Amino acid sequence: MIKYRNILVVIDPNMEAQPALYRAAEVARLQDSATIKVFMSIYDFSYEITSILSVEERDEMREGVVAQRRAWLEGLIQPYLDEGLDMTLKVVWHSRPSESILNEVNQHGHDLVIKSAHQHSLLESFIFTPLDWQLIRKCHLPVLLVKEHDWPADGNIVVALNFSSEPEQDSLNQKLFKEANHVAKLVKANVHLVNAVPAPTVNIALEVPGFTPEIYNEAILLHHQSMMDEFAREHHVPSAQTHVIEGLPEDVLPEIAEQLDAELILLGSLGRTGWSAALIGNTAEQVVDSLHCDLLVLKPDSQT
């Protein structure tokens, strides 16, 4: 089982409250000898284009901003240090936050990235790739995106299973369940399995002679239900905690999370990049804005 002992917490300099830091402390308390690095990447382009200042003066100004942020972070983490948690902090000046985070991950052997999640407007998501999405696509570590939702005892954890034919999907399903089971034991939660089954496209119904959508839908749902039953039997999950629901994952997962008042959803990401990411997107990216609970995104072993 994966145990998170070297946690990187990404601090948003534009947020007063930091749910990610609070959640990291919770995770650390549940495990022995966990260390937390509180990381902030900052940048202000105005310091780069001030032509009246010398290079040395610009460097001093940047260092002054970094020192101010460090002082703010020191005050932020002091209560956790007083509690006895092992925390360090780091502030870097970098024009690309995602790149600075990935550099930190690759250089210092972290095993979990925790970040507060943000809702993004459709326009912003289309023109820019928000930092949450960048991490989902490019970070090989598990990424925990945190929203302000408690993790109560005897709560519910949701595992989003995908029974597609992609070669890495079966092993990813196994990995997701194993990690959910580990977290559930730590926080004393119940594990629910969810499989979203998209309806057939209209094009199929129009182009295939004699095609009956209702019969096809029923056959697909029965197929997915049988796969869910097999998976649940293998992992000793009660049938009352399995859910096969017709619909798109980005619609089904927020709805089931709301119904169960889930504290955490675990979701696999195959980490598409390039044009396939731009045109198709990843389920994790589409889901994150609609959730009111935490989201833990895992990659296949081949991408870790």
pLDDT tens profile 75-90: 999 999 999 999 999 9
pTM above threshold 0.85: yes
Res 55: pLDDT: 74
pLDDT for res 280? 40
Domain ranges of the chain: 1-116, 148-304
Q: What is the pLDDT of residue 282?
A: 64
Where does 148-304 sit in CATH, by number?
3.40.50.12370
Q: Hey, what's the torsion of the CAs at 276, 282, 288, 291, to 10 degrees? A: 140
Quote the pLDDT of residue 210: 59
Q: What is the per-residue pLDDT for 296?
A: 94
Q: Which residues contact 191 (CB under 8 A, 6 or more apart)?
A: 157, 159, 177, 180, 181, 184, 237, 241
> Could you tell me the two tokens for 240?
């009352």
DSSP secondary structure string for all residues of the chain: -----EEEEE--TT-SS-HHHHHHHHHHHHSTT-EEEEEEEE--GGGTS-TTS-HHHHHHHHHHHHHHHHHHHHHHHHHHHHHT-EEEEEEEE-S-HHHHHHHHHHHHT--EEEEE-----HHHHHHS--HHHHHHHH--S-EEEE-S----TT-EEEEEE---S-TTHHHHHHHHHHHHHHHHHHHT-EEEEEEEEPPPPHHHHHHSTT--HHHHHHHHHHHHHHHHHHHHHHHT--GGGEEEEES-HHHHHHHHHHHHT-SEEEEE-----HHHHHHT--HHHHHHTT-SSEEEEE--GGG-
Q: Give me 204's structure tokens.
A: 């199929």
CATH of 1-116, one of 3.40.50.11540, 3.40.50.1100, 3.40.50.12370, 3.20.20.60: 3.40.50.12370
User: How far is Cα 225 from Cα 152, in angstroms, rounded to an integer?
Assistant: 30
pLDDT less than 70: residues of the chain: 1-2, 47-53, 119-129, 200-213, 271-282, 303-304
What pLDDT sits at residue 196?
93
pLDDT of residue 288: 78
